[in-house]
Structures are given as structure tokens and as C-alpha cells.
Amino acid sequence: MALIYANPGKWIPGLRLQQMENIQQLTYFDLLWAFVLILIIGIISVWESLKFERDLAIGVVRTVLQLTLMGYFLKYIFKLDSFWIILLIMIVMLIIASRTAQGRLRNKKVHGSQLLIGLSLGVGATITTIFAIMLTVSAEPWWAPQYLLPLFGMILGNGMNSVALSGERLQAELNHRRIEIETLLALGYSAHEASKHVRRDAIRAGLLPSINTMMVVGIVVLPGLMSGQIISGVDPTLAVKYQIMVTFMIAGSRGIASWLLIRLMLSRYFTPSHQLKYWIL
């Protein structure tokens, strides 16, 4: 993302090389100073008997190994420059995100819930990524991996959290308002009308993190993308533009995915005759 070009998609090698020379290079020895912060967390865990030491150690090892391998893997993928390989990677990312989001639901036995989550995530992430790649960034080719994979990954990760929140809230609200919904159905209301408040609260749960972030971004919160670009030497005004784009993309993806998932899941909770299915609550 930290790239300089005169026109969208047109590289200026000299400027890019000059920019790369200005980037502060980090070694693994330098990262040991950051590891001191993890040691402090470990000391707190021991001091307060939190019993997080094992998980913390595993997390540190996995973070270093996974990110290091991912760095070399992406470097290899960028060299291959193959659309089909990139598409396969994105499908694998979507499957993993769908399984992770499903695992956070209270009731995991809803038939086809992972498919519904995957469909919602896929639609939300695809629409917003297309907007960014083809209309905002104007990359050439449009599937350039150095753009497509990072953007899709950011969008998918945030969408995953939102659909998990929306799905969990939907199940909780259906349980909590079951008598209310049954009463409305008995009075002749349709399933769509009876579930209006449940649907609203579930979608709000998925959108709330993005709305809260937009309220304080740039004042209280300096997002990782913008901070990373500024540290790497990019003009702060350019970094801000990218961050605005990504913030809007994430909010759009969360809204689309949460809305679509709730609509699809509600169809599984009611019969065609507008009766609530108790066995899946």
C-alpha cells in the first residue's frame, strides 16, 4: 500500500526506490525490544495468577512463525502474478473466516449456517473490494495481488467479526423475545413483521464497531494502516486518504454482510406458515 505513482496503476520506479531507501529497516533483534512488552504481560499474569502464561507463549510463537511464513508466501505469490492462484487463496481465506464466525455462534446446529455466513461474508467483501480496486485505487491489472490480497484480508477479517456479533445477537434476541414474537404471530403478524426489532438489534450489533470507530478515528484512534504507512515514510496526507478508503470499505462490508446474514438466518428460524422453530433457538 505504501507506493508512489503519478497516475493510478503507473509506477515510477525511481520514486519507489527512493522511498524504500528512506524506510527504517527492522531486524529480528530490533523486535526483541517489542517482545519486552509481552514479557511484562507474562509477569502480570504470574503476579495476578491469571494463568495466561502458556497461551501467551504459544501466541508469541505462532505470531512470529505465521507472520514470517506469510511474508515469504506473499512474496512468492506476488512473483507468480496468477489470478487463479490469488482467487484460490481468497476462497480458502473465506472458508476459514466462515468457520471461525460460525464457531462463535451460541447455537451451531442451524442447518447450513456456515454456508449462510460464507455467502454473506463473500458478498460483502467482494462488493467492497471491487469498489476499492476498480474505482478507487484503479490498479493495473485489477487483480494485482499486492492490492487485492491485503484489502480483501482486512475487509474479510472485519466482516467476520461483524457477522459473528450479528448472528450471536440474533440468537440471543430470539430466545429473549420468544414469547413476544409468538404473541405477534398469533395476532396475525408475519414472520418479517414479528421479527422486526430482533432483526434491527442484530444488524446494529454488527455495525456498531464501525460506527464507534468512525466517531473517534484520527482523534483517539490512529489505525494500523495509516500508522504503518507514516512510519514507512509515506506523506501523512496520502496515508490519510488510504485510511479513509479502508474505513469506508470496512463499514460497507460489515453493513452488507450483517444485513444479508440476518435476512438469511431468519428464514431458517421460521416455517413457511410463519411459525417460530423452537428447536433451533
- Rounded to whole angstroms, the Cα distance separating 158 from 164 reads 10
Q: What's the grid cell of residue 137?
A: 485505487
DSSP secondary structure string for all residues of 56-83: HHHHHHHHHHHHHHHHHHHHHHHHH--H
Helix (H) / strand (E) element for 86: namely helix 83-103
The residue among 202, 206, 214 whose CA lies nearest residue 255 is 206
The model's pLDDT over 245-278, given as tens digits with 9 standing for 90+, comes to 888 888 888 999 999 999 988 888 888 887 887 6
Q: Residue 21: what residue type?
A: E
Read off the pLDDT of residues 82-116 as tens digits, 9 standing for 90 and up.
Answer: 888 888 989 999 999 888 888 878 766 666 788 89
Contact 189, 130 (CB under 8 A): no
pLDDT tens per residue across span 209-258:
888 888 877 776 666 667 777 776 777 888 788 888 888 888 888 999 99
Is the pLDDT at 183 greater than 50, yes or no? yes
Q: What is the pLDDT of residue 261?
A: 92
Contact 212, 218 (CB under 8 A): no
Q: Is 139 left (phi over 0), alpha (psi -120 to 50) or beta?
A: beta
Map 169-220 to HEC letters: HHHHHHHHCHHHHHHHHHCCCCHHHHCHHHHHHHHHHHHHHHHHHHHHECCC
**Residue 100 and residue 115 in contact, taking contact as beta carbons nearer than 8 Å:** no
Q: Considering the chain, what percentage of its residues have pLDDT values greater than 70?
A: 85
Asked whether 206 and 257 are in contact (CB, 8 A), the reply is: yes
- Number of residues that this document lists for the chain: 281
Judge contact between 246 and 225, C-beta under 8 A: yes
Task: Inform me whether the pLDDT recorded for 12 exceeds 50.
Answer: no
The better pLDDT of the pair 17, 116 is held by 116
Domain residues of the chain, as ranges? 25-80, 83-280
pLDDT in tens, 48-59: 888 888 888 998
Which residues have a Cβ under 8 Å from the Cβ of 55 and sit 6 or more positions away? none
